[in-house]
Structures are given as structure tokens and as C-alpha cells.
Amino acid sequence: MDFSLLHPTDQLVMIMDRIYSRGMTTTSGGNLSIRDDSGDVWITPAGIDKGNLTRGDIIRIKSDGTTLGVHRPSSELPFHLAVYKARPDLKAVLHAHPNSLVAFSIARKKPSLSLFPSVGRTCKGIKLAEYDLPGSQKLGDKIAKEFASGSDIVLLENHGVVIGAESLFKAFMTFETLESSAHLESLANQLGRVNHLSPAQLALSDTQHHLLMDDIEFKRRTTEELAERRDMVTLIQRSYKLGLFNATNGTYSVKLADGSILITPFNKDRAYVQVEDIVRVKDGMKERGKIPSRAIKLHATIYDRHPHIRAILVAHPIHLMAFAITDAVFDPRTIPESYILLREVKKVPYELLYTDYGAIAEALSEQSPTLLVSNDSIITTGESLLQAFDRLEVAEATAASLYICQSIGEVVHIKEREIEAINKAFNLK
């Protein structure tokens, strides 16, 4: 979907609906605006149900100051205008009070931007603005001062966050990534020692090979390919709804009978992925006119090494990520179902994911079909897409139970003798 071709009112309704339905604002909290190419500002209204906003509710502030619309503009209009005045390059401003960023704003601390690569890539810096009265020009001036110094993300003391960007969709991606990282940081702090990526480590993830592949034209589409495209789209959209993915993070792939690979596209919003967005790759060449995920080479290496693997998922669910960014050990011998599906889950070093695909492929086996990658992701594999997806869901549920257990009592794992009995009963090698 090309957001730049949508009318400002439609963009505002769409993104507010997404923020509200993901639980990142309440019905009365939060406001969004867009500055169009003529300089007019379009902003969400004051006192209207955010769960039920329509195009006709949006207010237009013309550059001469005239206000058009059936409602009052958001009470935070002064700071939106102050930010636009301070930063002529910005076209959208997003403000909300999501739980984790509010927690940081109450503690008056900035969240880390170096827990995993996409937060480092999306969020370049964050400033803290001093507290002031909501809706006041003084608050606007304090926020605008931080934007004027070059930051696109400003956390407001005892209030929430303001994000400016070149488009509303970009502001939303930054917002979603930052809130999920802040949530992750708060969980991980209670689980163990948190590791942060250095700038050099973050830079490793900026791979280019997916952009440089030659094109190939596919003339025939087998019914196998069509069925896999359909099932991938269903599970990708479901994964977004379940919080296993965020808008531009998370990669699913499937190997077809002829050896070619279907994989999620690079930099496309996961919430709206359609069958035509999925990219087919064969013999190192990509389907004409499309760009595959930057993880394509890793997926291809794993398929080459393990002929029985037919699906690979790379995702970032919050509880598993809390294990991935800390020194806590993730041992799935918690309930028989977790052990049977996951067996042993190794944690591999972050660098390997970008510098040694062979070592990642080598770490996978029938006894270890799932890997945690430090400060990056979880990789699950399967003989089918559904089996790999089942492993991902079970792994996240297992991590959540282990996390909750901390506040109840010591974790007691299933004993070795009982594991041997499971192996025998379920024919596990």
C-alpha cells in the first residue's frame, strides 16, 4: 500500500485506528497531524472516540490560521504547530501515551535504542522534554526546542511521547518499534542482565545483498506456489495481530518442490501484506520488480544444509526477546508439549546472523529446530509452514510462562529420567 497517495484524512483515520486497536492509546488520549504540501495542517479532533474516528471528524488548519471542520481541533494543536515551525522538513507529528513509554516518562529516563537492530535503525536518538501543562504554549515551546536540536523523538516528562517524521506512516513505524522496545526493556530488566548492541554491532545488520540480486521472470505458477502464498499471507497477518511481528520486522519463508523459495518482501508493512507482495527467489535470482527480505541469504543457506526443512520463520515476540537480550537461559523442558516441539533451544551469538550463515545453519538440527539469536530474533524451522508457526507460538507461550513463574516460585524443569520416557513414547531421536 502506497500511503503517500492516500488523502491526509484517510491516513489519520487509518493510523489512529491502528494505534487504538493495538492498545497503544485510550479513547481520549493521543493526537496525530499531517502537514500537506500546501502547508495546511490536518489534525485529529478533541473529545471524539478514538476507536470510532471517521474522515469527517478531522480538522484542517489552513496556513492563514483558518480552521475548517465540525469539531474543535486537538487541545495539543499548539505543540503540533510549534514542531512544524521548528522543523520545516517534518510532514507528520504523532503523540500518544502508550504504557511502556509512559512508564519511562514517569521515571524520567530515556529507553535504550540498542536492544535489537530495527530499533537502532528506526530510532536515531531520543530527547527528554521538561514537564509542562498539557495544551499550553509553554509545553509547545519545550517540545519544539528539542525538535529544533535535531531529534525526531521527544519523550515528555510525566506525559507521553511525540514523534515527528517525513510521513505519518514513518512516524507510526518509529512509534510502534520504540514502544515495543521500551516494553521489552522493562521485561528484560526483571529477567537478567541486559545486553546492548554497540554501534559496530548494529551496523552489521545493514546488509545489502538482497538489493543486488539479478531478476528472473516466472512464467508458470504451480497450485503449490499459490497455496503457499495464500497460507503465508494468512499467517503473516495473524502474526502481526498476535504481536509476534511488528510493521516491518519478521520474515517467513517456504521452500517449494522445485527448490525455489517464497519469502516476505523487504520493508513492506506486515499488516497489509498480500499474495502479490511475497517474493519468489530461485538460484540466487529474485522475482522481477520485487525485493526480498534482507534475510534471504540466511534462509537459502539453511534450506541448502537441511533438505527436510520446508519453512523458516524469523520473529521477535516479546517474551522470547527478553531471553534473547539477557543472559537468562531459555530451557523449554517446562511442560511435555514445549519439550516435544522445541527440544533444545540454543542461543547463538548476534554476529553470526550477519557474518556466518553456515554456522547458523549448522546450529540447527532435528534435536534443535529452533534458535534464539542474541539481541535479534528467534528462528524456528519446520517440515511445513504450520509446524514452524506452531513452534513459534509454543516457544513464545513457554517463554511467557517461564517469565510469569519468576514471581511465583523457583522453576522446576522436567527431570532427565522423565525426558527419556517422553523421547521413547513420542519416538524422538
Distance CA 377, CA 38 (A): 42
347: left (phi over 0), alpha (psi -120 to 50) or beta: beta
The residue type of 276 is E
Least distance between Zn ion and beta carbon 160 (Å): 5
Comparison of 44 and 338: residue with beta carbon closer to Zn ion: 44
| 312 vs 64: CA distance, rounded Å | 55
Helices (H), 243-295: none
Place of cell 534464539: 372
Least distance (Å) between residue 14 CB and Zn ion: 21
In the complex, the smallest distance separating the C-beta of residue 149 from Zn ion, rounded to whole angstroms, is 21
Per DSSP (E only), the strands in 218-369 are: 251-255, 261-263, 279-282, 285-287, 311-315, 346-348
Q: How far is the CB of 132 from Zn ion (least distance, A)?
A: 12
- How far apart (Å, rounded) are the C-alpha atoms in residues 363 and 228? 27
| Alpha-carbon separation of residue 317 from 19, 93, 98, 126, 392 (angstroms) | 18, 27, 18, 24, 9
Q: Which residues are 162's β-sheet partners?
A: 95, 154
Q: In whole angstroms, how close is the CB of 162 to Zn ion at the nearest point?
A: 9
Residues that bind Zn ion (CB under 5 A): 160
Closest to Zn ion by CB, 45 vs 160, is 160
Minimum CB–partner distance for residue 59 and Zn ion (Å) = 17
129 or 345: whose CB is closer to Zn ion?
Answer: 129
Tell me whether strands 160-165 and 377-382 are parallel, antiparallel or unpaired. Answer: unpaired
